[in-house]
Amino acid sequence: MTEILPIDQPTNNFWHTTQGPLMMLAPMEDVTDTAFRELILRKSAPGQLHMLFTEFTSTDGLCHPVGREKVSYRLKVSDSERTLLRQKGVKIIAQIWGNKPEKFAEAVRHISESYTFDGIDINMGCPVKNVVAHGSCSALIDQEPLANEIIAASKEATALPLSVKTRLGLKKVDTERWMSFLLKQPLDAIILHGRIQKQMSEGLADWQEIAKAVQLRDQLAPGIKIIGNGDVDSLAEAHEKSGKYGVDGTMIGRGIFKNPWLFQPELKEITLEERLETLNLHLDLFEQCWSDTRHFPILRRFFKIYLSDFQGAADFRHQMMQLNTFEESRQTIEQWTRRLLFHHH
């Protein structure tokens, strides 16, 4: 019996040509802007990181003249980030969300014509209550006809590879129904977070259910990649889960908050100097990129990443959390650096 190849699997498509397991950083609100992505690129070893995603961008916003001004910062890729993406062979994917197929078509066309992205990802997984109440993201898990129209409209509007990031279900685990539906769509990849919407970030991600999705994929659509997501804190764990559950790769989200050097596995010990240098780098990149167009307090959520696991870290962090300018921050870091490194040595 001859194997029938699925139609329409482009051979030059990075989802199918990149050697796996594929490793990627999740799209995260007020986290994965161009400054933080550049930081991660600079701190990643060659070949360890394959894909990055933008913050999620509203299709309604992109289709509205005033809205477009408001949301387009989410799609910004700085020149320095672009250079690193090229040097390191890392792909950058624009993630979009909404609930109107015609807006998806328009937004995807706009992104394809006005930006340089390697792919488009549709968010069908964000669990935030007001977004779900709006009928978007996770809400689409229980609206197959609408999800179908959104995917079809997006596919028609671009030649770029198309993926969907989603969850196991809305109020209950619904892997079999929902995956069987998605696997019949013209997608290149499905990124599956091992929780349902109702759980938000609570409880443990269920990788057994992700493995079930892989089995369904093997039967229904061998050409579609399945990427697992949920509770992965290291590259070693990402590779282990890829092997154990049969996924084509792993997406890491909150794990990056425990360790932004995660894609540099040979770095066994993070020194105090390295932490402070990386914090300064993050401030520099954020300021170069946004100057005063984004609120400084956005940076506070990152301070814990760098200012932990050394003596005096809590006091240092507490002081940093009160600050509102780059200038004050640099002075505070300098004072603490002198104090800490003097004691340290």
- Catalytic residue set: 126
Chain mean position to CA 148: 23
Q: Which amino acid is at 68?
A: R
Instruction: Examine residue 127 and say whether the peptide bond preceding it is cis (omega within 30 degrees of 0).
Output: no
Largest CA distance in the chain: 73
Residues 124 and 166 sit within 8 Å (Cβ to Cβ):
yes
Q: Which helix (H) or strand (E) segment is 133 a member of?
A: helix 129-133
Handedness of CA 182, 232, 284, 44 (dihedral sign): negative
Q: Which helix (H) or strand (E) segment is 228 a member of?
A: strand 225-229
From residue 158, alpha-carbon distances to 84, 92, 112, 114, 225 in Å are 25, 16, 6, 12, 19
Q: Which amino acid is at 123?
A: N
